[in-house]
């Protein structure tokens, strides 16, 4: 029997100019730029331009893209109707986002957009995803949707549509740093999904819908909510028992591992050292919490992180498990004021930049992705009529 590459670990399926990960050194570069240099400085529009065009924009090009994205934020009435129906049934936000993105075929026709270049379709989809998320969030809260503000950049407008208030500069910078940090990350599961769909010469709407479905799972983009819940639960227990956060974290983590659970926000398929994105987001979170946030929560989360790492290393000494991006994602997004159920959709809004760029790369590649499987079932079976089966 041929060896089976379970989970396709270590299998190279594409060449990409979009991002490079060194999992042993803990390094990530996005289109040639170290993530810790690019993410805290660039606007999200500049990063989108970089991914879609392979270079940073001039000031005029960045301005043109910003204005073009702002023009594409509206939703078709059918999208709103679908979101309203989903809200009435309490559908989780990621499912509502996946269904909402599906309705964008109403704008993009066959999803490739008749008469539009593929980059224009990418702009149109990336621009509308925050509107879907914010509209759905407000519908679930029984609040009226906020009309997008064309004067605001992509990230600032997302916060505005969520809260109905012009966000302050520190919040926008923190969220923009988050968007830039997670915009692309090699051949992760959702990006691979988008590329597989594109490789069949299907359309960009389908690729993004599939990617959102893949991102939703707790082993991928669904981890930050549970990561923050863990910190809150440990805090709650410490308050109740009067024990320290360290002591309660130790108990909680050991109990979780004894139940065979995975600790959200730790471990990574590629990184065998600390995820460099955790540091970028940790720095952004430190700044945000120092200015306005719940400093005690930040310190408690850092304490929990230390305990988790110590216990994980003790419990699984042969595994190289460290903090991944999701732990600090949770802290940063909470500090910005986003509720837990928006963490994964917000991840999707940022990663849509990478997904669309990979779709464009895959279109150029134009090679069907079709791996093989080793058959491990029975052979030589014979048909038995139903009345003769026991």
| H, E, C per residue of 96-122 | HHHHHHHCCHHHHCCCCCCCCCHHHHH
Nearer to ligand ACO, 73 or 220 (CB): 220
Nearer to ligand ACO, 103 or 180 (CB): 180
Contact 127, 16 (CB under 8 A): no
Site residue total, ligand ACO (CB under 6 A): 18
Other beta carbons within 10 Å of 77: 10
Residues 208-227 that bind ligand ACO (CB under 6 A): 219-221, 223
Quote the least distance from Cβ 27 to ligand ACO, whole Å: 16
Quote the least distance from Cβ 384 to ligand ACO, whole Å: 40
Residue 263 touches ligand ACO, criterion: CB under 6 A: yes
Q: Is 361 labeled as catalytic in the residue annotation?
A: no
Quote the least distance from Cβ 17 to ligand ACO, whole Å: 21
Residue 265 touches ligand ACO, criterion: CB under 6 A: yes
Q: Rounded to whole angstroms, how far apart are CA atoms 281 and 202?
A: 35
Which region, judged by CB under 6 A, interacts with ligand ACO, from 192-200, 323-331, 357-365, 382-390? 323-331
Q: Rounded to whole angstroms, how far apart are CA atoms 171 and 184?
A: 22
Residue 343 touches ligand ACO, criterion: CB under 6 A: no
Residue 262 touches ligand ACO, criterion: CB under 6 A: yes
Nearer to ligand ACO, 57 or 265 (CB): 265
Beta strands in 219-281 (DSSP E): none
Mapped onto helix, strand or coil, the DSSP state of residue 239 is: helix
Residues 238-277 as b/e (b if ≥16 CB within 10 A, e otherwise) read beeeeeebeebbbebbeebbeeeeebbbbbbbbbeeebbb
Other beta carbons within 10 Å of 108: 19
Among 79, 180, 324, 356, binds ligand ACO (CB under 6 A): 324
Residue 266 touches ligand ACO, criterion: CB under 6 A: yes
Q: Rounded to whole angstroms, how far apart are CA atoms 222 and 262?
A: 13
Options 268, 305, 334, 358, the catalytic residue: 268
Signed CA dihedral, 360, 74, 175, 264: sign only: negative
Residue 264 touches ligand ACO, criterion: CB under 6 A: yes
Nearer to ligand ACO, 287 or 351 (CB): 351
Residue 100 touches ligand ACO, criterion: CB under 6 A: no
Which region, judged by CB under 6 A, interacts with ligand ACO, from 96-104, 151-159, 316-324, 367-375? 316-324
- In the sheet with 33-34, reading across from the earlier edge strand, the strands are 19-22, 27-30, 33-34
Backbone angles phi, psi at 29, to 5 degrees: -125, 145
Quote the least distance from Cβ 295 to ligand ACO, whole Å: 25
CA within 13 Å, CB half, 360: 21
Q: Is 165 labeled as catalytic in the residue annotation?
A: no
Among 156, 211, 321, 350, binds ligand ACO (CB under 6 A): 321
**Chain residues that interact with ligand ACO, rule: CB under 6 A:** 219-221, 223, 262-269, 316, 319, 321, 324-326
* Active site residues per annotation: 268, 326
């Amino acid at each position: 029997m041929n060896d089976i590459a379970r989970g396709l670990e270590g299998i190279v399926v594409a060449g990409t100019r979009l991002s490079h990960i060194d999992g042993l050194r803990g390094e990530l570069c996005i289109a040639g730029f170290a993530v810790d240099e690019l993410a805290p400085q660039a606007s999200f529009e500049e990063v989108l331009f970089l991914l879609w065009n392979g270079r940073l924009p001039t000031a005029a090009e960045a301005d043109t893209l910003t204005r073009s994205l702002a023009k594409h934020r509206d939703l078709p009435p059918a999208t709103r109707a679908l979101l309203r129906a989903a809200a009435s049934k309490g559908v989780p936000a990621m499912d509502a986002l996946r269904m909402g993105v599906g309705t964008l075929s109403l704008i993009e026709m066959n999803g490739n957009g008749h008469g539009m270049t593929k980059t224009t379709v990418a702009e149109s989809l990336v621009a509308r995803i925050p509107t879907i998320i914010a509209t759905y969030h407000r519908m679930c809260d029984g609040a009226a949707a906020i009309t997008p503000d064309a004067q605001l950049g992509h990230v600032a407008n997302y916060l505005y549509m969520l809260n109905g208030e012009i966000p302050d500069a520190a919040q926008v910078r923190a969220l923009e740093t988050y968007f830039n940090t997670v915009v692309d990350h090699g051949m992760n599961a959702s990006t691979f999904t988008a590329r597989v769909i594109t490789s069949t010469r299907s359309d960009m709407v389908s690729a993004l819908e599939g990617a959102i479905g893949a991102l939703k799972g707790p082993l991928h983009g669904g981890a930050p909510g549970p990561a923050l819940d863990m910190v809150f639960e440990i805090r709650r227990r410490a308050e109740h028992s009067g024990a320290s956060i360290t002591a309660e974290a130790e108990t909680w983590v050991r109990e979780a591992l004894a139940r065979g659970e995975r600790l959200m926000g730790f471990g990574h398929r590629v990184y065998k050292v600390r995820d460099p994105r955790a540091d970028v987001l940790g720095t952004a979170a430190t700044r945000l919490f120092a200015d306005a946030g719940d400093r005690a929560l930040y310190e408690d989360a850092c304490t929990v992180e230390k305990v988790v790492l110590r216990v994980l290393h003790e419990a699984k000494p042969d595994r190289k498990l460290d903090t991944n991006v999701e732990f600090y994602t949770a802290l940063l997004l909470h500090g910005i004021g986003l509720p837990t159920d928006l963490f994964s959709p917000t991840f999707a809004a940022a990663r849509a930049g990478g997904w669309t760029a990979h779709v464009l790369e895959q279109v150029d590649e134009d090679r069907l992705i079709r791996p093989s499987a080793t058959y491990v079932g029975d052979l030589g079976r014979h048909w038995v009529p139903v009345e003769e089966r026991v």
